[in-house]
Chains A and B, each alone.
Chain A
Amino acid sequence: MMLATRRQLAEAGVLGINRRNARFTLPCNPRKYYPRVDDKEQTKQLAQEAGIAVPPLYGVLHIERQVRDLARQVAPYADFVIKPAQGSGGNGIVVITGRTGSGYRLVNGVTLDERELAHHASNVLSGMYSLGGQPDKALIEYRVQFDPVFAGISYQGVPDIRIINYLGVPVMAMIRLPTQRSRGRANLHQGAIGAGVDLATGTTLHAVQDNAMVTMHPDTGNAITGITIPYWDQILALAARCYELTGLGYQGADFVLDSERGPLLLELNARPGLNIQIANHAGLLPRLRQVERSGAHVRGYEQRVGFAKRAFAHKEA
Chain B
Amino acid sequence: MSDRPVYVLAALLVLLASGLFAYKYFVLKVPLTPNLQVKAWDVEVRVDLRAEGGPAKVSFYLPRPNGVYEVADERFISGDFGLGIRRFVDNRLAVWSVRRATGRKVLFYRATVRPARAVGTGAAANPPEVSSPEFTAAERAAADQLLRNAQNQSADLETLTEALLRELMGRADDNLTLLLGESPDLDRKLQLATRLLARAGIPARTVHGIQLEQLARNARRVEWLDVYYGKQWHSFDPVTGEQGLPDRYLAWWRGNNPLVRVDGGLHLNTQIAVTLNQESALMRTRTPGGLLDFSLLSLPVQTQAVYHVLLAVPIGVLLLVLMRNFVGIKTFGTFMPVLIALAFRETQLLWGIVLFCTVVGSGLAFRFYFERLKLLLVPRLASVLIIVVLLMAIISVISYRLGLHRALSVALFPIVIMTMTVERMSIVWEERGAREALEQGAGSLFVAALAYLVMQIEPLRHVIFLYPELLLVILAATILMGRYTGYRLTELIRFREFGGGKRP
Binding site for B on A (CB under 8 A): 1-6, 8-10, 12, 14, 16-19, 22-23, 27, 89, 91, 119, 122-123, 126-129, 133, 135, 189-190, 208, 211, 213, 274, 277-278, 281, 283, 317
Task: Scan residues 479-494 of chain B and give those whose CB is less than 8 A from a CB of chain A.
Answer: 482-488, 491-494
**Known A16-B491, A27-B1, A190-B433: A4·B499 in contact at CB below 8 Å:** yes
Q: Establish whether residues B503 and A281, one from each chain, have CB atoms under 8 Å apart when the complex forms.
A: yes
**Known A18-B486, A91-B431: A5·B376 in contact at CB below 8 Å:** no
Chain A residue contacts of B433, Cβ below 8 A: 190
Chain B residue contacts of A190, Cβ below 8 A: 432-433
Chain A residue contacts of B487, Cβ below 8 A: 6, 9-10, 14, 16, 18
Task: Scan residues 458-504 of chain B and give those whose CB is less than 8 A from a CB of chain A.
Answer: 482-488, 491-503
Give the Cβ gap from A269 to chain B, nearest Cβ, in Å.
16
Residue B85 lies at the interface, judged by CB distance under 8 Å to chain A: no
Q: List 19 A-B contacts (CB under 8 A).
A: A1-B499, A4-B492, A4-B497, A4-B499, A5-B499, A8-B498, A16-B486, A17-B488, A17-B491, A18-B486, A18-B488, A19-B485, A19-B486, A89-B432, A123-B374, A126-B374, A190-B432, A190-B433, A277-B495
Chain A residue contacts of B278, Cβ below 8 A: none
Q: Establish whether residues B486 and A2, one from each chain, have CB atoms under 8 Å apart when the complex forms.
A: no
Give A9 to B485 CA distance when docked, in angstroms: 13
Indicate which residue in B377, B485, B494, B499 contacts A126 across the interface (CB closer than 8 Å). B377
**Known A18-B325, A277-B495, A278-B495: A128·B377 in contact at CB below 8 Å:** yes
Q: Establish whether residues B493 and A3, one from each chain, have CB atoms under 8 Å apart when the complex forms.
A: yes
Having A4-B500, A12-B498, A18-B488, one finds 13 other A-B pairs with CB under 8 Å, namely A4-B496, A4-B498, A4-B499, A5-B492, A9-B491, A16-B485, A17-B488, A18-B486, A22-B482, A89-B432, A123-B374, A133-B377, A317-B502
**Known A16-B491, A18-B487, A19-B486: A278·B497 in contact at CB below 8 Å:** yes
Give A211 to B503 CA distance when docked, in angstroms: 13
Q: Establish whether residues A283 and B498, one from each chain, have CB atoms under 8 Å apart when the complex forms.
A: yes
Give A283 to B487 CA distance when docked, in angstroms: 13
Give A75 to B433 CA distance when docked, in angstroms: 35
Q: Establish whether residues B500 and A8, one from each chain, have CB atoms under 8 Å apart when the complex forms.
A: yes
Residue B423 lies at the interface, judged by CB distance under 8 Å to chain A: yes
Give A174 to B284 CA distance when docked, in angstroms: 73
Q: Establish whether residues B488 and A16, one from each chain, have CB atoms under 8 Å apart when the complex forms.
A: yes
Give the Cβ gap from B436 to chain A, nearest Cβ, in Å.
8
Indicate which residue in B374, B376, B484, B498 contacts A9 across the interface (CB closer than 8 Å). B498
Binding site for A on B (CB under 8 A): 1, 325, 328, 374-377, 423, 427, 430-433, 436, 482-488, 491-503
Give the Cβ gap from B139 to chain A, nearest Cβ, in Å.
71
Give the Cβ gap from A305 to chain B, nearest Cβ, in Å.
28
Give the Cβ gap from B364 to chain A, nearest Cβ, in Å.
16
Chain A residue contacts of B497, Cβ below 8 A: 1, 4, 208, 211, 213, 278, 281
List the A residue with the shortest CB-CB distance to B380.
A126
Chain A residue contacts of B427, Cβ below 8 A: 133
Chain A CB count within 10 A is highest, among B325, B491, B497, for B497
Q: Establish whether residues B499 and A3, one from each chain, have CB atoms under 8 Å apart when the complex forms.
A: yes
Give A189 to B482 CA distance when docked, in angstroms: 28
**Known A16-B491, A18-B488, A19-B485: A1·B500 in contact at CB below 8 Å:** yes
Give the Cβ gap from A42 to chain B, nearest Cβ, in Å.
22
Give A189 to B433 CA distance when docked, in angstroms: 10
List the A residue with the shortest CB-CB distance to B1.
A27
Give the Cβ gap from B428 to chain A, nearest Cβ, in Å.
11
Indicate which residue in B325, B436, B486 contacts A6 across the interface (CB closer than 8 Å). B486
Indicate which residue in B431, B492, B500 contacts A89 across the interface (CB closer than 8 Å). B431
Chain B residue contacts of A189, Cβ below 8 A: 432, 436
Chain B residue contacts of A122, Cβ below 8 A: 374
Chain A residue contacts of B499, Cβ below 8 A: 1, 3-5, 8-9
Give A4 to B498 CA distance when docked, in angstroms: 6
Of all A-B residue pairs in the complex, the 9 with the closest CB atoms, nearest first, are A4-B499, A19-B485, A16-B487, A12-B498, A1-B500, A126-B376, A8-B499, A22-B485, A4-B496
Q: Establish whether residues A133 and B423, one from each chain, have CB atoms under 8 Å apart when the complex forms.
A: yes
Q: Establish whether residues A3 and B496, one from each chain, have CB atoms under 8 Å apart when the complex forms.
A: yes
Give A12 to B68 CA distance when docked, in angstroms: 72
List the A residue with the shortest CB-CB distance to B424.
A133
**Known A9-B492, A277-B495: A22·B503 in contact at CB below 8 Å:** no
Give the Cβ gap from B7 to chain A, nearest Cβ, in Å.
14
List the A residue with the shortest CB-CB distance to B3.
A22
Give A277 to B494 CA distance when docked, in angstroms: 11
Chain A residue contacts of B491, Cβ below 8 A: 9, 14, 16-17
Give A309 to B172 CA distance when docked, in angstroms: 96
Give A129 to B428 CA distance when docked, in angstroms: 11
List the B residue with the shortest CB-CB distance to A23.
B485
**Known A16-B488, A89-B431: A2·B483 in contact at CB below 8 Å:** no
Give the Cβ gap from B227 to chain A, nearest Cβ, in Å.
70
Give the Cβ gap from B439 to chain A, nearest Cβ, in Å.
12
Q: Establish whether residues B374 and A3, one from each chain, have CB atoms under 8 Å apart when the complex forms.
A: no
Indicate which residue in A1, A16, A27 contacts B496 across the interface (CB closer than 8 Å). A1
Chain B residue contacts of A317, Cβ below 8 A: 502
Give the Cβ gap from A195 to chain B, nearest Cβ, in Å.
14
Give the Cβ gap from B399 to chain A, nearest Cβ, in Å.
33
Indicate which residue in A133, A135, A211, A213 contacts B494 across the interface (CB closer than 8 Å). A211
Give the Cβ gap from B26 to chain A, nearest Cβ, in Å.
39
List the B residue with the shortest CB-CB distance to A27.
B1
Give A277 to B495 CA distance when docked, in angstroms: 8
Q: Establish whether residues A211 and B496, one from each chain, have CB atoms under 8 Å apart when the complex forms.
A: yes
Give A128 to B483 CA distance when docked, in angstroms: 34
Give the Cβ gap from A176 to chain B, nearest Cβ, in Å.
16
Chain B residue contacts of A18, Cβ below 8 A: 325, 484-488
Chain A CB count within 10 A is highest, among B328, B492, B498, for B498
Chain B residue contacts of A126, Cβ below 8 A: 374-377
Give the Cβ gap from B446 to chain A, nearest Cβ, in Å.
19
Give A76 to B375 CA distance when docked, in angstroms: 31
Give the Cβ gap from B432 to chain A, nearest Cβ, in Å.
7
List the A residue with the shortest CB-CB distance to B497.
A278
List the B residue with the shortest CB-CB distance to A212.
B497
Give A14 to B485 CA distance when docked, in angstroms: 12
List the A residue with the shortest CB-CB distance to B325.
A18
Indicate which residue in B325, B377, B431, B501 contacts A135 across the interface (CB closer than 8 Å). B377
